[in-house]
Amino acid sequence: MAHDETPAATSSMEWHRAGLLAAGSILALGLAACTSASRSTSDSFRLLFNRDVEATPAQVAANRYPQIQLRAPDMSAVMVLGYVDDGQQVWYAGREAVFQLDRDGLVTGTSGNGRRISNRIVGDSPFHDLAKVTTPVKVQRQYDAIPAYAVSVPVTGTLTRHGTDKVDILGRQMQLVRFEEQLQGGGIGATNLYWADATTGFIWKSRQHLAPGYAVELTQLKPYRTAQD
């Protein structure tokens, strides 16, 4: 399956550069506020800058906390859930990286080292009930990059439902519905991909763009919330 990315040459290039810097030098913020259990759990999986890193079923089973496989252009890691605050999930890869996800499994940002990249959906989100999406739906997004002085950069997504794909997660073959979200605006011309349970809409795997040219792939190994398969 081809995934096209054609970032436009716009004034947003400055926040593009800042976004890549932030993603490449993420440091955990607020780690001191975590419980000792969260710290010991996150320490059990150190961040590895190697794209071939992959968790085994035995490793996942040995850790009772929720876990997600992360793959990005500059890192690969198993993330462990640190805490949940008002619906926002904070995930750690060792002590070096922090990612924020919302209740629907969408990446809402990364933070650290005085920088932050974030994005949000403005208005109603079709991801709240993804299983019921059968026709194309517009998704209005806004992106921020600090300290690049890029705030509320508008990006429009078009979310469409496609066929089913067989997805392997820890040796388990899952038949999941593929959703594609075409992004346009703010220097982004790319496609987000989501593989979700046909009944619950739970996203088991996704490829999401946090900035022009920077995408992360997430696979749920031990979900925070259980999908009804």
Q: Is the pLDDT of residue 3 over 70?
A: no
Per-residue tokens: 205: 């795997």
Whether residue 197 has pLDDT greater than 50: yes
Quick check: 28 and 115 in contact, CB under 8 A? no
Question: Amino acid identity, residue 123?
Answer: G
Which pLDDT band holds residue 95 (cuts at 50, 70, 90)? low
- pLDDT tier for residue 186 given thresholds of 50, 70 and 90: confident
Exposure on the CB side of residue 42, measured as CA atoms within 13 A: 23
Q: Collect all residues with Cβ–Cβ distance below 8 Å to 19 and sequence separation of at least 6.
A: 117, 145, 148, 210, 211, 212, 214
Collect contacts of 49-57 with beta carbons under 8 A, ≥24 apart: 49/74, 49/75, 49/76, 50/76, 51/76, 52/76, 53/77, 53/78, 55/170, 55/221, 56/170, 57/170, 57/171
**What pLDDT score does 55 carry?**
83
Cβ(28)–Cβ(221) under 8 Å?
A: no
Tell whether the model's pLDDT for residue 79 goes beyond 50: yes
Kindly report whether the peptide bond that precedes residue 154 is cis, defined as omega within 30 degrees of 0.
no
Residues 6+ apart with CB under 8 A from 85: none
Q: Mean pLDDT over residues 168-185, rounded?
A: 97
Interval 43-58 mean pLDDT: 56
Flag whether the pTM goes above 0.85: no
> Cα(131)–Cα(164) distance, rounded to whole angstroms?
13
Q: Mean pLDDT, to the nearest integer, of 48-76?
A: 80
So what's the pLDDT on residue 38? 38
